[in-house]
Structure 1
Amino acid sequence: MNSQAATVKNSSTIYYKETGVVWRLSNYFLEQIPFDHPNLVFCCIGTDRSTGDALGPMTGSFLTQLSSFPFQIVGTLDNPLHALNIEDITNELINSPTKPYIIAIDACLGNAGNIGQIIVHPGPLYPGKAVKKELPPIGEISIKAIVNIGGFMEYNVLQSTRLNITYEMGKVISRALLLAWHRYNLKIINKSNSNRNYN
């Protein structure tokens, strides 16, 4: 669980119920995520013990159910990536033979008017910040979903967050990631065909 960061250069924000949200969010992912990286890893942070903090593992579970999404997913409802294991798992990933490019996904708290916003920006997440935990930053790209109001009794706020918002936002993020991956592949195929026709 993250606190809402200040505006980051090149960050993109969209409301999860906006018309065409999956397509528009996939545009952001295509701009930010290097789908051609040899070790692209999606780290979905959070716990299934808190409705507000379940966004990450719920998104991870959605992604693992998508057979055409071929990337490594760390953090699901079955095996959450949370405060107790994130340092060990991050170290394992970093020490793998091919250095990973990590996309970090987490819920965060923010202003009342920003609830429902999905934020994509370059740079790491700082997990646990909203509930005053000191954990190492993670990720080259961050995807954050504002699930509730921050600034006061954060732990209780997370516990009382409606499951529906984390479910729906997780579904939007996972569908947009899948669409971005498919659009990336189509772009490669079209480019290859164009080159073949030119030659």
Structure 2
Amino acid sequence: MNLKKRFGMQQETFRMLHTNPGLQDSMLQRIFSWLPDLPKEFVVVCIGTDRSTGDALGPLTGTYLTDMRPKHLTIYGTLKYPVHATNLNDYIKLIEEAHRQSFIIAIDACLGKSGSIGHLIAARGPVKPGAALNKPLPPIGDMHITGVVNVGGFMEASVLQNTRLSLVADMAEKTAELLSALDRQLTWENSSPSVVLKNKKRGTLNYM
């Protein structure tokens, strides 16, 4: 099935509560519709720091996903080796040099309305890290997944610091499971398993 035709190119954002039982299947279908037709290397960049509970969504996701041992995703950003404001530019340069034909999936926490807390939001295009705190950081990603971890609009730094780790950990686990499920839909036939080609007939990804 050609999921691009099914959903249409105008469908560039998808959001769902992280506790929704249908999250993985629904969001995975939407993400798959955004993946490139040409061979790409898939890189996941998990942005954030463990120094702030609210901002730990990215490195927690990277840690959980690494433990799941994906075969086709290169992961940057874990609790031990976080990607954050002070080293983001360095990682962008590293990725540009080491993964020249990559499709980047960026993961980050965000703040929103009270009714949006707990939602995971997948969208085409780059994420803008540090936007909630007005930090001038470079955008990154061909697509991104953000998690609304708390309410925005007032004293954002303090809000992030006082966000419940339990919520952030649950959201990170769901995000990692989603990406692990994506990884399982990729197949390979040589020594570079991250480079894949989407098979339109089967709705899966395979090598050329």
Bin of the TM-score, shorter chain as denominator length: 0.7 to 0.9
Q: CA deviation at 1:93?
A: 1.0
**8 Å contact 2:42–2:72 — kept in the other structure?**
no
Measure the CA separation in 1 of the matches of 2:35 and 2:58: 18
Structure 2 unmatched ranges of 5 or more: 1-9, 188-197, 203-208
What secondary structure sits across from 1:144 in the alignment? strand
1:133 has 2:135 as partner: yes
Aligned to 1:80: 82
Q: CA deviation at 1:165?
A: 1.1
Q: How does 1:93-112 map to 2 (within 5 A)?
A: 93-96=95-98, 98-112=100-114
Aligned to 1:197: none
Q: Structure 1, residues 20-62: CA drift from partner, whole Å, max 9, x if none?
A: 2222222222222349743211000000101000000000001
Aligned to 1:89: 91
Q: Which has the higher helix share?
A: 1
Q: CA deviation at 1:70?
A: 2.9
Aligned to 1:65: 67
Alpha-carbon RMSD: 2.1
Aligned to 1:116: 118
**8 Å contact 1:29–1:177 — kept in the other structure?**
no
Percent identity of paired positions between Structure 1 and Structure 2: 39
Q: Which has the higher strand share?
A: 2
Tell me the amino acid that sits aligned with residue 110 of structure 1: G
Aligned to 1:146: 148
17, 20, 23: which one aligns with 1:21: 23
Give the TM-score normalised by the residue count of structure 2. Answer: 0.80
Tell me the amino acid that sits aligned with residue 108 of structure 1: C
**8 Å contact 1:147–1:161 — kept in the other structure?**
yes
What secondary structure sits across from 2:111 in the alignment? strand
Query: Which 10-residue stretch deviates more, 115-124 or 92-101?
Result: 92-101
**8 Å contact 2:54–2:162 — kept in the other structure?**
yes
Tell me the amino acid that sits aligned with residue 81 of structure 1: V
Q: CA deviation at 1:121?
A: 0.8
| Residue correspondences, number | 182
Measure the CA separation in 2 of the matches of 1:107 and 1:67: 23
Q: 1:97 to 1:14 in 2, by over 3 A?
A: closer
1:180 has 2:178 as partner: no
**8 Å contact 2:49–2:59 — kept in the other structure?**
yes
Query: Which 10-residue stretch deviates more, 90-99 or 10-19?
Result: 90-99
Give the TM-score normalised by the residue count of structure 1. Answer: 0.84
Tell me the amino acid that sits aligned with residue 30 of structure 1: F
1:48 has 2:62 as partner: no
What secondary structure sits across from 1:39 in the alignment? strand
**8 Å contact 2:41–2:99 — kept in the other structure?**
no
Measure the CA separation in 1 of the matches of 2:69 and 2:105: 19
Q: 1:166 to 1:35 in 2, by over 3 A?
A: farther
